[in-house]
Chains A and B, each alone.
Chain A
Amino acid sequence: MKWLMLVVLLMPGLAWAGEAKPLAEDPVAEARLKHLAVELRCLVCQNQTLADSNAPLAEDLRREVREMIAKNMSDQEIIDFLVQRYGDFVLYRPPVKATTTLLWIGPFLLLVGGGIALVLVLRRRGQAMTDTPVTDEEHRRVEQLLSQGERRS
Chain B
Amino acid sequence: MKRFLLPLAVFAVLVGFLAVGLTLNPREVPSPLVGKPAPAFLLPQLHDQEKTFAPADMAGQVWLLNVWASWCGGCKEEHPVLMQMAQAGNVPIYGMDYKDRREDALSWLRRQGNPYPVTAVDAEGRIGIDYGVYGVPETYVIDKQGVIRYKQIGPLDDEVVAKTIMPLVKELQAK
Which A positions have Cβ atoms within 8 angstroms of B?
Answer: 43-44, 46, 56-57, 60-61, 64, 83-89
Contacts and interface: CB of A to CB of B under 8 A. Distances in A.
B135 A87 contact: no
Contact of A85 (B26, B30, B124, B129): B129
Interface in B2-21: none
A84 B129 CA distance: 10
A87 B131 contact: no
Contact of B32 (A44, A57, A86): A86
B130 interface: yes
Interface of B: 26-27, 29-33, 99, 124-126, 128-135
14 contacts: A46-B26, A56-B125, A57-B125, A60-B124, A60-B125, A60-B129, A83-B32, A85-B129, A85-B131, A86-B29, A86-B31, A87-B31, A88-B32, A89-B30
A87 B125 contact: no
A56 B99 contact: yes
Contacts of A64: 126, 129
B29 A85 contact: no
Nearest to B71: A56
Contacts of B26: 46
Contacts of A44: 134-135
Contacts of A46: 26-27
A115 to B, nearest CB: 17
A41 to B, nearest CB: 10
Nearest to A60: B125
B32 A87 contact: yes
A64 B135 CA distance: 18
Contacts of B27: 46
A44 B135 CA distance: 7
B31 A43 contact: no
B99 A86 contact: no
A46 B168 CA distance: 30
A146 to B, nearest CB: 31
A83 B29 CA distance: 12
Given A60-B129, A64-B129, A87 B29 contact: yes
B129 A87 contact: no
Nearest to A86: B132
Nearest to A89: B29
Given A85-B131, A86-B31, A87-B132, 15 more contacts: A43-B134, A46-B26, A57-B125, A57-B134, A60-B128, A60-B129, A64-B126, A64-B129, A85-B32, A85-B33, A85-B129, A86-B134, A87-B32, A88-B32, A89-B30
